Amino acid sequence: MAGVMNIVVILVMLFSPCVRAPGKNPEIERLLESVNLKSDGNAKIASVLDDILNLRYQDGLCKFGVQIHPKCVGVHPSNRYGFGVSVTAVHRLGAKIVRMGWSWAACALAICIADGATRKIAKCTTRMQHGSSKFGQCDENEITYGSLANGHTNQFLTAAIDGAETDEESLAVDGHISKEKISMNDHAITEALTKGIRWTALDAGVEDIYGDA
């Protein structure tokens, strides 16, 4: 689940008021300005993010609860402050998910954005995945979105689908993640593996309006 600092990054990355372009929603600009003016820690950024996403929905640039197959969601270059995802953290999180059970509530702030014409999300993701046999391996052509929050969770699902190598014994059979083992007695994770996380999905046009991340 995205923490408070992740929410800040999403706000700054996608909706920075310092970038001026036609098509901006003046109410979003007002909300962002209210965050910028709050220096006392009372900016209520989580509420502001909800308001902004609802306004993007009204503008036709955001959809809620979109279930997307894990291998169709890559990693946006700005996910996790521009550092992408850590393969060690992916497997550690996966072991925690399996131990505690899959929670849809924990994915409530899963946010992704559609890849644009440059295909930068697909290229960034496949380059990252090719760097380790512990990542799942996606074809560049199947990636249509990039995660902004919940990227580690989605990359765990991708690694599980592909039976990637792992050092986490709770996930493994013969040194590889076993879908059968991790989904035993957990119907929710079976759904996540086959259908994907339920995302708040932003249109690629958001970056055209608010600037390149």
* Residue-wise pLDDT tens digits, 186-195: 999 999 999 9
* Residue-wise pLDDT tens digits, 127-138: 999 999 999 999
* pTM exceeds 0.75, yes or no: yes
pLDDT over threshold 70, residue 168: yes
C-alpha distances (whole Å) from 150 to each of 18, 180, 200 are 27, 23, 11
* Residue-wise pLDDT tens digits, 28-43: 667 666 665 555 555 5
Q: Give the C-alpha separation, 146 to 151, whole Å.
A: 8
Q: Give the C-alpha separation, 194 to 166, whole Å.
A: 20
Q: Give the C-alpha separation, 42 to 205, whole Å.
A: 30
